[in-house]
Structure 1
Amino acid sequence: MKSIFYNLIILFFSVSGIHAQYTEEDWKDRDTWMKTADLLNFSGIKEGDKVADIGCHEGYLSMHLSKRVLENGRVYAVDVREDRLKTLRENANSRNRKNIITILGDYDNPKLPERELDLIFIIDTYHEMESYEKILQHVKKSLKPNGKVVILEKLKTHVKGKSREVQISAHSLGPEYVRKELKQAGFTIISEIEDHGKWERESSKQMWVILAQKQK
């Protein structure tokens, strides 16, 4: 039943002409409003790093990460939809990005290799994770000692100060919840950006970023 429902969703988007979120045609504009270069500098990513992009969609951030870590680095691009990963592989091949590995994850497990990664990025995806406690434990196991996780989210004005349940129902989340959950999972918050700008330039959607480190 689940697979039938999933196929119906894909068919709807195909026949209606609605393109998937974060498609390649939007990438150049996203560089500007998401301040992607600043975000990557903030993360401390460097050549040779092994990194992950959880919730990669069609590869926007994965392509940027690939350019940063270069040939001696590696990017694990994770999504729960194979159609997105297929498009990502096509995008990577067209750019000759051979350091990207795609992973079809589960909703409670990104299926990353253990104790291998320097950095994990979760961009506008954490609020969708119902099993965030399990996922954070998998993230921690995947990181090397002192490895880091970067979480970027948007907080919508009309749900600011509301409960976690109300915020996630609006596809939004405040940093106070994520900060607490990271600490409970065994991470140390090392840096934050309280206001990273407006998501898709919409004044009611403020972006924020947390950089946390795995405790030894």
Structure 2
Amino acid sequence: MFTIGQKFCLRGFFGAALAVLSAGTAIAQSDVATDATEPVATADSAPKSVKPGINKSFLNKELDVQSYVDRFETESREIFRARQSIVDAIGLKPGDRIADVGTGTGLFVEPFSEAVGKDGWVFATDIAPKFLERVERLIEMKSLNNASAVLSGQDDVRLPPNSVDVLFVCDVYHHFEFPSQSLYSIFRAVRPGGHFVIIDFNRIPGESRPWLLDHVRAGKEVFRSEIEDAGFEFVEEVEIPEFQENYFLRFRRPGNGG
């Protein structure tokens, strides 16, 4: 019998492998990437936490998922109000493979599934098994045959190399306890020429709410620098009409492919 974690890892891996192979991209090809597309960051053997314990509550076996649904999927949340604008700004095409890293309650799984179509794939990843149980129920209930749940680690998204066209992180980057290691795995998961999209809170001392200043460890410039240091190229900041406290940044992994 598999544990919950093993179940999600296996399903996620086979889903990712299927999506990559169906697109004609062998996973093994990543091992012959040129220097220009190899990760700049390295996976340290002893990663250092930048904010110890920030994700402790999500690992609780008794996690109250409904309380997060009530918080995340409501008109009072900026991201929820802007969800269609966000999907439009990402610019997904039929056949694309997208990873929703830190999917949480699965807010974007269905719209992403619709955007990439039957020939695309959605990997909904999270470190919280309880969130993924909800996502699996959503996938089954909505008959989303192009989506799978993946249990990620706190320093590894656990996706095969070159497996996605777009990797999306929404109000989650500041929860990366080991950002350099997480970015290493993200860089490898995004195909050369693919995009890394990050949405996060705009932390501005003297302007942002006290909760935000305490919760989010750094501002946009620091996060952008970390991502560029990992090997990504900055593409643009996209204006989302509904945003007041968040920002949308698009990065690209160097290499051919668009």
TM range (shorter): 0.7 to 0.9
**2:158 pairs with one of 111, 133, 143:** 111
**Matching of residue 89 in structure 1 with residue 136 in structure 2:** yes
**1:170 pairs with one of 215, 221, 227:** 215
**Matching of residue 98 in structure 1 with residue 145 in structure 2:** yes
Q: 1:126 to 1:8 in 2, by over 3 A?
A: closer
Q: 1:96 to 1:55 in 2, by over 3 A?
A: same
Structure 1: tracts of 5 or more residues without a match: 199-204
**Matching of residue 210 in structure 1 with residue 249 in structure 2:** yes
Q: 1:186 to 1:8 in 2, by over 3 A?
A: closer
Q: Structure 1-normalised TM-score?
A: 0.79
Deviations 1:72-95 (A, max 9, x none): 100111011111101111111111
SS of 1:101's equivalent in the other structure is strand
Q: Structure 2-normalised TM-score?
A: 0.67
Match of 2:29 in 1: none
Which runs of structure 2 are paired with 1:10-159 in the superposition (5 Å)? 10-11=61-62, 14=64, 19-22=66-69, 26=73, 33-156=80-203, 158=205
CA distance in 2, matches of 1:194, 1:59: 23
SS of 1:113's equivalent in the other structure is coil
Match of 1:188 in 2: 233
Cα offset, 1:155, TM superposition: 2.2
Identity %: 21
Higher relative contact order (CA 8 A, sep 6+): 2
Deviations 1:2-52 (A, max 9, x none): xxx8799554x65xxx83324599267768854222222222211110110
Read off the aligned partner of 1:62 and give its amino acid letter. V
Residue-pair matches, total:
199
**RMSD value, Cα:** 3.1
Does structure 2 conserve the Cα–Cα contact (< 8 Å) formed by 1:152 and 1:207? yes
Does structure 2 conserve the Cα–Cα contact (< 8 Å) formed by 1:124 and 1:152? yes
CA distance in 1, matches of 2:58, 2:78: 31
CA distance in 2, matches of 1:167, 1:7: 19
Read off the aligned partner of 1:109 and give its amino acid letter. D
Structure 2: tracts of 5 or more residues without a match: 1-55
Q: Which moved more, 1:46-55 or 1:18-27?
A: 18-27
CA distance in 2, matches of 1:194, 1:32: 13
More strand by share: 1
